Structure 1
Amino acid sequence: MAAPSPPGVPRLLPLLLLGLAAAAAAGALDPVCGGGCCAGPVRNGSAVAALCGSRAGAVLRGRCCLEGQPEQEAVVGLDLGNCSLHRLCSSFQEASTAFVIDLTGNPLERLPEDAFRGFTLLQTLALPQTLDCPGGSEGWDNVTLQGSSSRICQGQRNPCNGSGGLGRLCPEDSVCVPDGPGLPQCLCIGPFHGYKCLRQGTFPSLLFFGTLGAVTTTLSILLWATQRRKAKRS
C-alpha cells in the first residue's frame, strides 16, 4: 500500500509545475537577452530603456525589454549597443517580436539580406553608420544619420503596399504579406498550394508523409544491412 502524501504536497505540485514552466520560458530567451549575445544590462538612456519605461508591465532582463506573462514573455526591445559584435549572434532571431533594436557601437560586417526576416513589428532600428537599413531607404518611412556614428531606420513600410510594391511579384492565386524590412512573402490562397500556387485542392498530406516515411524506412534498412555486412567482414 502506497504511503500517503505529506499534507500540502497536492497543493504545492501545481505551483511547482507553474514555476518550472516559467523558468523554462525565461530560459528560452536567455541566449539573446543574457550573455549569449552580449553580457550586461540594457544601457541607461538607450532607446530600449526608454521604451521599457513607457510601457506598463514591461520589464528589463539582461539586454532585453520583455512583455507578457512569465511563461509567454516576448522581446519588445533589444539593446546590443557597444557589444563588440562583428556579426549577429545565432540567437538573434529570438528577438523577432521586437519594436526597437539598437546595434550601434559595433564593428559589424555587412548584414545578410534576410537577417531581419520575420521582424515584422520592428519600428526603430539603430545601426552603425557604415551599414544600410535592411530593405534600403525605401523600406522605411524615415532614415536619418545621428552624429557621425549611427544610422536610424524608423517606421518599417509594408513592402506589399503601393503601385511599386514587391507584392506585384507574387503569382496568381496568392497574396503578398510582409516578412520583415523589404522582405515580402507570397502565401497561397486556398485551395491552391505548391510551387507558385499552381496546384488546386487540399494538400495531399497522407500521400506526402506516407511516401516520406516509406523512403526513410527503406534507406534506414539499407544502411543497417550495409553496416552489418561490413561488421561481419571485419
Structure 2
Amino acid sequence: MAAPSGRFPGPLIVLPFLGFCLAAGAGLPEVCSGGCCPGTVRNGSAVAAQCASRPGARLRGRCCCSGGAPGSEASAVVGLDLGNCSLQQLCSSFQEASTALVIDLTDNPLEPLPEDAFRGFTQLQTLVLPPTLDCPGGNEGWENVTLRGRSRVCHGQRNPCNSSGGLGHLCPKDSSCVPDGPGLPQCLCISPHYGYKCLRQGTFPYLLFFGTLGAVTIALSLLLWVTQRRKAKVS
C-alpha cells in the first residue's frame, strides 16, 4: 500500500536508500563491480601482474584502477580481468573499460567478436583471448601475437594510420587519420572543414540547425494538440 501523500517515509526506508546512493556514488564502473561478471581479479592473471607492478594502482572488483583516491570517480580502469566468466558475448558495460592497458578474456566460450568490439580502446597494449579467437584487427594490428597454452596474447597495438599499414590514404582530403582501436582508423576533418567527406568549409550553422529543429518540433506539437482537442470534443 502506498504511503499517504505528504508524509515523509520512515527511517527503515530512508537508510537503505541512502546506502544505495553512497554505493552508487563510489565511482566504480559497472564492468568492474559485477556488471559483466561477479568476483575479483584472479591471482596470476595478466591484470593482477600489471597492477602489482604499477605504482598507485589498486585492485577493485574485476579491475585494476589508477588515479584518484579510493572510491573516487577520477580513478581510471587500466586493467580488466573477465577470465573464467562463462561469457559467450561481451556485456553492454564492456565499453567502460576503454582506458584499459591490459584486458584478460581467457577461459570463456566467447563467440567471434564483432569487428568494432574494441572501438575506442586506443590505449590497449595487451589483450589475452581464448585460443579460438583472432586478435581484433588481425595479426597486422599488433606488434606480436603468440599462443601460450590455453590463450592467445595480442601485444603492442599498432597505429592503423601508419603509411606502412596502407590505411592512411583512405581518409579524404582535408581530414586526418587517427587511431580508434585495434585495426580501426577514423578520419577527422581538419578545421575549418566539416561535414560529409569534409567537403564543407567554415563553422557548422548551429543556430540555423537548432532553430529549424525547434520550429518543426513546436509546429508538430501544436498540430497534435489541436487534433487531440477536436477528438475530445467529438467524443
Please give the TM-score of this superposition, normalised by the length of structure 2.
0.85
What is the Cα deviation at residue 211 of structure 1?
Answer: 1.4
Deviations 1:43-82 (A, max 9, x none): 0011101111111111111000001112311100000000
- Residues 228 and 126 of structure 1, relative CA distance in 2, 3 Å threshold: farther
Aligned residue in 2 for 1:156: 157
Distance 1:151 1:103 in 2: 10
Distance 2:229 2:138 in 1: 56
Letter in 1 for 2:214: G
Distance 2:207 2:26 in 1: 34
Q: Is the 8 A contact 1:25 1:72 kept in 2?
A: no
- Residues 81 and 207 of structure 1, relative CA distance in 2, 3 Å threshold: same
Q: Aligned ranges for residues 1-234 of structure 1 at < 5 Å?
A: 24=25, 26-27=27-28, 29=29, 31-69=30-68, 70-147=72-149, 149-234=150-235
Deviations 1:101-158 (A, max 9, x none): 00111111111111100000000001111111111111111111111x3111100000
Letter in 2 for 1:72: A
Gap runs ≥5 in structure 1 = 1-19
Q: Is the 8 A contact 1:158 1:178 kept in 2?
A: yes
- Residues 192 and 229 of structure 1, relative CA distance in 2, 3 Å threshold: same
What is the Cα deviation at residue 22 of structure 1?
Answer: 9.7
Deviations 1:178-225 (A, max 9, x none): 000000000000110000000011111111111122222222333333
Letter in 2 for 1:161: N
Distance 1:57 1:22 in 2: 23
What is the Cα deviation at residue 26 of structure 1?
Answer: 1.2
Distance 1:120 1:62 in 2: 23
- Residues 213 and 44 of structure 1, relative CA distance in 2, 3 Å threshold: same
Q: Percent identity?
A: 78
Q: How big is the alpha-carbon RMSD for the aligned residues of Structure 1 and Structure 2?
A: 1.8
Distance 2:180 2:60 in 1: 27
Letter in 2 for 1:188: C
Aligned residue in 2 for 1:17: none
- Residues 24 and 109 of structure 1, relative CA distance in 2, 3 Å threshold: same
- Residues 25 and 209 of structure 1, relative CA distance in 2, 3 Å threshold: farther
- Residues 165 and 182 of structure 1, relative CA distance in 2, 3 Å threshold: same
3-state SS of paired residue (1:56)? coil
- Residues 53 and 212 of structure 1, relative CA distance in 2, 3 Å threshold: same
201-210 vs 218-227, which deviates more? Answer: 218-227
State the number of aligned residues: 212
